[in-house]
Structure 1
Amino acid sequence: MDKIRQGYGYARGKKKRFSRSAAVTKVATLVLSAGSTVILGLQNLNAWAGLALACVALVTLLGAVEPFFNWRSRWVLTEEAQYRFQRLADDLEYLVASAAADELTFDQLNEIFGQYQAIWGDLSRTWLEHRRELAPSTNA
């Protein structure tokens, strides 16, 4: 049960971190884009034009960084893993609560452990697939 809870906690923590990173990146991109557009409207001031160009450069940087880290996909993947860990914990708790200790079999517990391993395997495999899909093309 502790291993399942640890997996759940890991997925929950990562989900929060990835969703926060995705949101901060989007908000920063919007603020810098809007700011640079407004500032470029004030072209008669060289300092403002320079600041606007810096904002545009930062937007370009954020636009390149976000797909690299792919926070949104990671957030969704860990949210799914969190759901699956919680469901597995519920199944295990039900199994333990509905059967006497001497009625529990190795096969029943082994099935739960197999599902636990499958969650980690699916999470890792899917993340690797996402990373491969987002790799820069060498034919461009």
Structure 2
Amino acid sequence: MALEADRVQPTGGLSAGLSPEEVAALLLGKIRRGDDYADRRKQQFRRLASVIKMVTLTLSAASTIILGLQSLNTWAGLAFALVALGTLLGAVEPFFNWRSRWVLMEETQYRFRRLADDLEYLVASTDPGDLTHDQVNAIFLSYQDIWDDLCRVWLEQRREPVSSRGA
């Protein structure tokens, strides 16, 4: 099937009149690219969410320790600067909402992988002459639903006021 997938991949144009198997191979390639996209974005969002949390935690802890050493004006000034930076990061994190984006990409990736499994099972369990465009089209509609849901949730999160998201 990999050879068929290589053969039917258009190089900028559209192919017409493909067999259901070729359409399935083409669709599987699209699903896999969607999964790769979600994986890359998930990794990026997870990394950013983790960095923000760790920096905020470090600044808060350092400022608390330094405030305990208030007899030194330099330390107290540094502590207040760290508190200010921690507050800034605490305000920025909900605005970018990295954790929610990470979870959204995790869910999207799961759905793409499940859909790829469904398609592979459909093709493997169906006699070559019995696979129909309608069967593959049902998988394609699910593929489009995944992208529609991703875009809808993404836009909802972007429209949502920062204050209602919480920290």
Normalised by the length of structure 1, the TM-score is 0.92
Quote the residue 2:58 is aligned against: 31
Distance in 2, Cα, partners of 1:133 & 1:115: 27
Aligned-residue identity in percent: 67
1:24-60 deviation per Cα after TM superposition (whole angstroms, max 9, x unaligned): 1111111100100111111121211121111111111
Task: Name the counterpart of 1:120.
Answer: 147
Q: Which runs of 5+ in 1 are unaligned?
A: none
2:99 equivalent in structure 1: 72
Deviation readout 1:46-96 (Å, 9 max, x if unpaired): 211121111111111101110111011101111110100000000000011
Map 1:58-137; keep pairs closer than 5 Å: 58-135=85-162
C-alpha distance in structure 1 between counterparts of 2:137 and 2:116, whole Å: 14
TM norm structure 2: 0.78
Which of the pair is proportionally richer in helix?
A: 1
Q: Does 1:7 align with 2:34?
A: yes
TM-superposed CA distance for 1:101, in Å, is 2.5
Q: Which amino acid aligns with 1:15?
A: K
Specify the SS of the correspondent of 1:102: coil
C-alpha distance after superposition, 1:77-132 (max 9, x if no partner): 11110100000000000011011222111111111111101001101101111222
Amino acid at match of 1:87: R
Q: Give the drift of 1:15.
A: 1.1
Q: In structure 2, list runs of 5 or more residues that go unmatched.
A: 1-27
| AA at the equivalent of 2:126 | A
Q: How many residues align?
A: 137
Mapped pair 1:47 → 2:74:
yes
RMSD: 1.4
Residue 92 of structure 2 aligns to a residue whose secondary structure is helix
| Whole-angstrom CA distance in 2 between matches of 1:101 and 1:84 | 26
Which residue in the other structure is 2:44 paired with?
17
| 8 A contact 1:67–1:134 mirrored in 2 | no
